[in-house]
Structure 1
């Protein structure tokens, strides 16, 4: 068996381990998933009329605000699931299972790859659930099949990028609680972007950060794909450039840190 085949087999074994672990201990996944769902329902049914009126400067339009809100909540769901990966990696590092893996004839990289693939799969499942809730409360996307595929690809790319960053966070954290705290920007940054209000309504001193941080271009591009509105060239480029750059950074950081922790 070649080294590549051996690594792929071990990665699939680790993927199965992580999916089984998520199924047997679903509390973390449910807690992280509840946050975007609660925010979605809260901003639609409690703040929806006020927010929509403030954005449009006219009569309240809750249905219009649902359309504006759901793409941002989808991106928040990606960040929340990645945060769970940081906690899972930190737990593995502190509970001794990694030390046991080191004594086994398995590919070292498969441990990280299993976490990443498992997180991406869980993220896609969580996104389907959140999108279903959005449709149930009035979200009506106007996307072609090509645009749906592009939206799914963008969300998968964002999930891959944030998951590799989350793996690095988990590896440098002293425990699961530390990983949860260090990974909070994955959930908070969308709040500081265009998830809930347009960046044009933000103070000038803050607008530049809100517009060009990693999440806002992805949210705006996702809105354009799902709602059939225009997509700015800058947003489209940044929506791809940010996750590609973060994927490379997270992969390098995670593998270097894991090699150091493994004594290699």
Structure 2
């Protein structure tokens, strides 16, 4: 067993050293990041069930290598932490801003939503005791792998505790109660974030709807103004036509009267 652990630590250190030289590795492309998130989503249940995730990052590195990407376990781990940090930073942004500034928001959202569903299912099946038996950890993303020296220190502390009088009988119940409290806090925080996003989306929708109504009102007012202007122009044209017709009639009457007077004068002269 010790030889096996020694072999694992050597392989990890070698790959991690290769990842230290950031200049020798290209930047993460969008497609590479999506493939990485797909692999990470497949292994997320295992991440939640194990305490040591160093081997899991090696598995992810191997799967990435199978897809043609040369990424060390340490690089994959750092990339995941950066993505989670950016995901948490997008909680105060609008939906369009999320897609523009962080194109992998939907992938992270799907991973955490599936994780919450698994937690709810585990809680419904076995409660806090089930969580303890299955070894589910609520914050696997924030915990780092422990070194072998830490494991040896922990084992020596356990031996001293056993020699000193054994485990505390109430530690099991306190641990299960702590897991239940952590689960409740996680669910409350998740629901709070969802509510904040829904409220923000609703505010954005209402603002856009109000802007649309204002534009429609302005358009209607402009159309009404144009219609009123057309009616006024038509009315003025009719008035001018009426005045022109009256002037024509007046000139015609004068002309007829003048012609009649001339004819009468000529008749009198002939007589």
Relative to the length of structure 2, the TM-score reads 0.21
Higher RCO (CA-CA < 8 Å; seq separation 6+): 1
Output the TM-score relative to the length of structure 1: 0.22
- Structure number with greater Rg is 2
